[in-house]
Amino acid sequence: MTRPPIRKAVEADVPDLLPLMRKLARFEKYIDAFAITEEVLREQGFRRSPPDFHCLVAEDNRKLVGILVYYFVPFTFRAKPNVVIKELYVAEGHRSKGVGELLMKAVAKEAKKAGCGLIKWWVAKWNHRSIEFYERLGAKIDPDWHEFQMSEKTFQDLAAS
C-alpha cells in the first residue's frame, strides 16, 4: 500500500468524518455520551470563524482512512499557542502502515507554522499500543500533572452555589 495523502478536511468530508469519530468513541468507550452530529461538525468546524476545531484527514482511493482533530490554545505561559490533539483515529486495515505517523507529522507542521510551543494530548492508560506509538515519535508522558475533570452537573452545581 502506498502512503495516503494527508490534507485538511473540508466541509464535504463531514459525512465521512462522523463514522470514523463514532468508531473512535466506541473504541475509547465513550459512545454512550457521544453527541457529535454532521450539523455540529459543519457548524463548529467549517462555518465558524475561527473554527472550534481543525481536522486533518488521510485519504486512500478517495476514502477517508484516518483523522486527526486538533485545536489551538492561543494563550499559554510560554507566550506561544499550544496545539491540543483531541482525536487521532486510523481505520482498521490501515493501521501499522504509517498513516498515524503521517497525520502526526502534518499536525507538527501546522504547529510549527502557527509558532506553537507545545503539542499535547491525552491517551487512555489502557491503550498501550497508542502509548508505544507516541513514544516512538519522541513524545513523553508528563509525570508532573494529573488531569482533573468537572462534569456538567458538577460545574453547574458549583456555579449555583
Residue 4 is predicted with a pLDDT of: 77
| Residue 83: closest CA among 116, 56, 122, 115 | 116
Residue 75 is predicted with a pLDDT of: 87
Q: What is the pLDDT along the chain (161 residues), one digit of tens a residue?
A: 467 799 999 999 999 999 999 999 999 999 999 999 999 999 999 999 999 999 999 999 999 999 999 999 998 888 999 999 999 999 999 999 999 999 999 999 999 999 999 999 999 999 999 999 999 999 999 999 888 889 889 999 999 99
Residue 2 is predicted with a pLDDT of: 66
Which positions are catalytic? 134
Sorted by sequence, the CB contacts under 8 Å of residue 30 that are 6+ apart come out as none
3-class SS letters over 62-125: CEEEEEEEEEEECCCCCCCCEEEEEEEEECCCCCCCCHHHHHHHHHHHHHHHCCCCEEECCCCC
